[in-house]
Amino acid sequence: MLAESTAFSGFSVDNVVPAKEFYAGTLGLKVSEHNGMLTLHLAGGGTVILYPKGAAHQPASFTVLNFPVADIDATVDALAGAGIAFEHYQGTPTETDSKGIFRRGGPLIAWFKDPAGNVLSVIQQ
């Protein structure tokens, strides 16, 4: 029924101004703005809508956007150099190393947050 629909995802931010600076400036994504909302234009043609909720915004406590990468160590180093702080999960099933990378089975993954507190990741292909 919806197999031909060009679906997209979305999540909220508290303020579109720092969100736009982060996604376009820090992460280097193509970002457009219409009707007070942001559209992230992802490689491969996908899109994600970011909509403002102001003070009512509650950051997602789960990963809302994953960025597949060829070399997680190089990507983490580059993003850390751009000022991104990676999450560190100690004493949990998703325990990360000193760089913030999960290396205990499954895909190598590192989590970080956008300015609104939403969880994002880079994940090695």
Nearest to 124 by CA among 65, 71, 77, 58: 71
Distance between CA 109 and CA 72 in Å, rounded?
A: 7
Show the low-confidence residues of the chain (pLDDT under 70): none
Which pLDDT score is estimated for 63?
97
pTM above 0.85, yes or no: yes
| Positions of E strands within the chain | 9-13, 30-34, 37-41, 47-52, 63-69, 101-102, 109-113, 119-124
Does 3 map to a domain? no
- 49: domain CATH number is 3.10.180.10
Number of domains in the chain: 1
Q: Is 1 within the bounds of a domain?
A: no
pLDDT of residue 18: 98
pLDDT of residue 11: 98
Q: What is the pLDDT of residue 84?
A: 97
Domain extent, residue 72, equals 9-124
| Residue 111 pLDDT | 98
